[in-house]
Chain A
């Protein structure tokens, strides 16, 4: 009879009930001080106890499946097995690190690479121009974990090309923008690269690798860079796939203190939510001054509201996507949040700034908040890039 068989438990239960009833039935007959009776009492009690313990042990064992057989229980089972490898693989080794142009970061030129007056300096192939101003590269990032594949631009600073700097890691600034390919926009890849090149060569900003991609890189439905339950896994793309791809292809920093994420109006929520929910990857975030209580495309906080699908039908998950709710209800993440204020006042800007400051006031250490004002003139983002580069841990020998 098996250790876990129902019949055994039934038998034990039958004995337990019988011992219990028998003790009660015999009670009055054994109520004398005779030694034989005292012994009989002890025997009856023990029988009742042992049988009830047996029932409990057998039931617990059957329910949890601790010991499957008598040999298992008494330790006489010493069988061993062999590890069986899957049929389809090369010794189980992970894929080798791939360099640009061969794998994860394939240098395919997406259409619409912006042309700027000075862009030729940046896009010039080979040594001298690159070592002086850096280089802007179009790439494709294939997210192995999220299944999301996105076109992006990578700006490599001049230091990347200097033999003396070989082997040093560089901090990384990820830019999520609605205008990556909009010629002339400050958040376009070309303008950002030129701004960075100018600030780096003038030594106002530390060198950094810039990765620039569209806010809709992870799909047009989810613009909040969230992992939607049962839907697009944009957070996995931005917080796992992108850093792994960049780290395996460039001498990029491998710690959160060396990674920043910057968003424009379309990518601001992404930047902040990525840093707040994935502070192990991003130590610094910057976004336009605003309140960020809902992800882009989501307006309501109740079931059925636009964007409700992004929370997988859960009020609790919806709450977690509200960044002010996070600041109020979750431990403050160890990140620096920079809010970018436009120098020129537009309509409604005072009201927006008020809501934004209420949001900022919720942040407690170790979360740090700061405000940066855009510069007037042709390079409005220069102070933002300077500040982000200063906040980031400088590169070092890996």
Chain B
């Protein structure tokens, strides 16, 4: 039973309702002047409020897909901190990506993209040629996967991979598809990219309209050590989150799918914390990512009780993870970034303008500023189409047509 499942929410709601009913029923029994009665009254009242709050928080959590699994909440995953020996010690190298579930998304409906609730049928042999029906070759596929990083020992138990319809079509059998790594905010489950942002639906309709080239999307939690907020940082003597996203994940994806190799075919995108991650990963690893989209991202990670110590108490290392500091002190990397904000309603508006003003070639900064918006999926949904097109213009598929310098150029 996950934290966002119907049964869990039902239990929480029933407890809230029962507590309220009990309070109304027991009301006269504690109506005396005794101090114990007064205490009981206060206790009952507080109990009704707490259970009601729990139900509301559960509902909000389910709506926003903040935290879906219990282990994310309390951190009972197998330790993702440094470990000297793991399964590979016996010589058996585990597959870096294990598919746990395969779904075929609903066909995008025009002019409006697929239902925003992200209704996905389980894999079913739909008859080919059925209008709006069909299998993966018509609608693509969404895989639920577990990704293990060889280099960092980090295992992320649940991520999602969207494969476009073309991935399954014979005409594209030899194509190496560009890849976009999508990172959520903290704490926001990667499922929110499907249920709230409807990213697969938006991608499908953009591809169908010919505005976006067929692309693989890998949707992941930006934290690799839930419930800790790792901010995509190689934490000294701790989880190597930056290495995981910049080395392990790209190599795992390139090994498991017909994915482009090399920076020209890779972009990284994220919202909030995922936006900071996207800009940082691209700036630090411009040999891996050619472009980054930061939706309502920030530029300096805050250390608080959710992150713990991120920088091994090194002020210099902390500076290197501050994107303003990087622009001011390090050579501008050869990447393009798209930064979004809103003139009214978003805290990152002025920092974003400042960041853009500091960018120098070969780095290129693009902005998408809404007149009014917020730090929410409703705002990001209004930006996602343009962001997808912007990324698509900056990515090239790999494959047999890759650049191969002639040996006779001297």
Is residue B137 within 8 Å, beta carbon to beta carbon, of the partner chain?
no
Is residue B336 within 8 Å, beta carbon to beta carbon, of the partner chain?
yes
Which of A52, A83, A167, A313 is in CB contact (< 8 Å) with B315? A313
Is residue A146 within 8 Å, beta carbon to beta carbon, of the partner chain?
yes
Cβ–Cβ contact A67 & B372, under 8 A? no
In the complex, what residues of B have CB within 8 A of residue A311's CB? 314
Cβ–Cβ contact A331 & B285, under 8 A? no
In the complex, what residues of B have CB within 8 A of residue A66's CB? 374-376
CA distance in complex: A375, B347 (Å): 66
A-B interface pairs (CB < 8 A), number: 279
In the complex, what residues of A have CB within 8 A of residue B151's CB? 279-280, 331, 333-334
Is residue A390 within 8 Å, beta carbon to beta carbon, of the partner chain?
no
In the complex, what residues of B have CB within 8 A of residue A97's CB? 403, 405
Interface string of B337-360 (1 = CB under 8 A from A): 010101011110000000010011
CA distance in complex: A88, B357 (Å): 11
Interface string of A133-171 (1 = CB under 8 A from B): 000000000011111000000000000111101110100
Q: How far is the CB of A173 from chain B (nearest CB, A)?
A: 18
Is residue B70 within 8 Å, beta carbon to beta carbon, of the partner chain?
no
Cβ–Cβ contact B334 & A95, under 8 A? yes
CA distance in complex: A147, B153 (Å): 31
Cβ–Cβ contact A72 & B45, under 8 A? no
Cβ–Cβ contact A24 & B405, under 8 A? no
In the complex, what residues of A have CB within 8 A of residue B346's CB? 65, 68
Cβ–Cβ contact A68 & B333, under 8 A? no
In the complex, what residues of B have CB within 8 A of residue A244's CB? 263, 287
In the complex, what residues of B have CB within 8 A of residue A94's CB? 264, 290, 334, 336, 362
Which of B153, B236, B375 is in CB contact (< 8 Å) with A64? B375
Cβ–Cβ contact A144 & B362, under 8 A? yes
Q: For residue B399, which residue of chain A has the nearest CB? A: A398
CA distance in complex: A230, B237 (Å): 19
- The winner among A81, A255, A317 for most chain B CB atoms within 10 A is A81
User: Could you tell me which residues of chain A, from 38 to 78, have a CB within 8 Å of some CB in chain B?
Assistant: 38, 41-42, 45, 48-49, 52-53, 56-57, 60, 64-69, 71-72, 75, 77-78
Of the listed stretches B86-94, B139-147, B165-173, B211-219, chain A binds: B86-94
Q: How far is the CB of A81 from chain B (nearest CB, A)?
A: 4
Cβ–Cβ contact A314 & B345, under 8 A? no
Q: How far is the CB of B287 from chain A (nearest CB, A)?
A: 4
In the complex, what residues of A have CB within 8 A of residue B75's CB? none
Of the listed stretches B119-127, B200-208, B222-230, B378-386, chain A binds: B378-386
Counting chain B residues whose Cβ lies within 8 A of the other chain, the interface size class is: 35 or more
User: Could you tell me which residues of chain B, from 354 to 408, have a CB within 8 Å of some CB in chain A?
Assistant: 356, 359-362, 364-376, 378-379, 382-383, 386, 390, 393-394, 402-408
In the complex, what residues of A have CB within 8 A of residue B336's CB? 92, 94
Q: For residue B343, which residue of chain A has the nearest CB? A: A81
Is residue A99 within 8 Å, beta carbon to beta carbon, of the partner chain?
yes
Interface string of A189-230 (1 = CB under 8 A from B): 000000000000000000000000000000000000001111
Cβ–Cβ contact A49 & B49, under 8 A? yes
Is residue B1 within 8 Å, beta carbon to beta carbon, of the partner chain?
no
Query: Can you list 12 A-B contacts (CB < 8 A)?
Result: A28-B32, A31-B27, A31-B28, A52-B52, A77-B372, A79-B372, A83-B367, A83-B386, A144-B362, A162-B407, A229-B317, A240-B285
CA distance in complex: A315, B329 (Å): 24
Cβ–Cβ contact A84 & B45, under 8 A? no
CA distance in complex: A364, B85 (Å): 7
Interface string of A4-44 (1 = CB under 8 A from B): 00000000000000001001100110111100001001100
Which of A56, A68, A95 is in CB contact (< 8 Å) with B342? A68
Is residue B311 within 8 Å, beta carbon to beta carbon, of the partner chain?
yes
On A, residues with C-beta under 8 Å from B are 20, 23-24, 27-28, 30-33, 38, 41-42, 45, 48-49, 52-53, 56-57, 60, 64-69, 71-72, 75, 77-86, 88-89, 92, 94-95, 97, 99-100, 143-147, 160-163, 165-167, 169, 227-231, 233, 240-241, 243-244, 248-251, 254-255, 278-280, 311-317, 319-320, 327-334, 364-366, 397-398
Which of B24, B53, B410 is in CB contact (< 8 Å) with A45? B24
Which of A64, A69, A329 is in CB contact (< 8 Å) with B237? A329
CA distance in complex: A365, B312 (Å): 28
In the complex, what residues of B have CB within 8 A of residue A328's CB? 84
On B, residues with C-beta under 8 Å from A are 20, 23-24, 27-28, 30-33, 38, 41-42, 45, 48-49, 52-53, 56-57, 60, 82-86, 88-91, 93, 150-153, 236-238, 240, 247-248, 250-251, 261-264, 285-287, 290, 311-317, 319-320, 329-331, 333-334, 336, 338, 340, 342, 344-347, 356, 359-362, 364-376, 378-379, 382-383, 386, 390, 393-394, 402-410
Cβ–Cβ contact A53 & B52, under 8 A? yes
Cβ–Cβ contact A332 & B405, under 8 A? no
Cβ–Cβ contact A71 & B359, under 8 A? no
Q: For residue B409, which residue of chain A has the nearest CB? A: A99
Cβ–Cβ contact A75 & B28, under 8 A? no
Are A41 and B86 also in contact (CB < 8 A) when A68-B373, A317-B312 are? no
Q: How far is the CB of A137 from chain B (nearest CB, A)?
A: 9
CA distance in complex: A160, B404 (Å): 13
In the complex, what residues of B have CB within 8 A of residue A166's CB? 406-408
Cβ–Cβ contact B311 & A314, under 8 A? yes
Q: For residue B378, which residue of chain A has the nearest CB? A: A75
CA distance in complex: A86, B362 (Å): 11
In the complex, what residues of B have CB within 8 A of residue A28's CB? 31-33
In the complex, what residues of B have CB within 8 A of residue A30's CB? 27
Are A255 and B53 also in contact (CB < 8 A) when A64-B375, A88-B361, A144-B334 are? no
CA distance in complex: A167, B237 (Å): 43
Q: For residue A107, which residue of chain B has the nearest CB? A: B410
Cβ–Cβ contact A72 & B374, under 8 A? yes
Which of A32, A45, A315 is in CB contact (< 8 Å) with B48? A45
Are A316 and B312 also in contact (CB < 8 A) when A160-B407, A280-B251 are? yes
In the complex, what residues of B have CB within 8 A of residue A72's CB? 345, 372-374, 376, 378-379
Q: For residue A23, which residue of chain B has the nearest CB? A: B45
Q: For residue A147, which residue of chain B has the nearest CB? A: B331
Cβ–Cβ contact A365 & B88, under 8 A? yes
CA distance in complex: A28, B371 (Å): 54
Which of B32, B85, B237, B373 is in CB contact (< 8 Å) with A320? B237
Cβ–Cβ contact B373 & A77, under 8 A? yes
Cβ–Cβ contact B82 & A331, under 8 A? yes
Q: How far is the CB of A239 from chain B (nearest CB, A)?
A: 8
Are A81 and B371 also in contact (CB < 8 A) when A38-B24, A144-B333, A331-B152 are? yes
In the complex, what residues of A have CB within 8 A of residue B410's CB? 100
Q: A45-B24, A312-B317 are in contact. List 5 more A-B contacts (CB 8 A).
A: A53-B56, A56-B53, A72-B373, A86-B356, A100-B410
Q: How far is the CB of A77 from chain B (nearest CB, A)?
A: 5
Q: For residue A42, which residue of chain B has the nearest CB? A: B24
Cβ–Cβ contact A145 & B409, under 8 A? no
In the complex, what residues of B have CB within 8 A of residue A329's CB? 82, 84, 237
Q: For residue B369, which residue of chain A has the nearest CB? A: A81
In the complex, what residues of A have CB within 8 A of residue B378's CB? 72, 75, 77
Q: How far is the CB of B373 from chain A (nearest CB, A)?
A: 7
In the complex, what residues of A have CB within 8 A of residue B150's CB? 279, 331, 333-334, 366
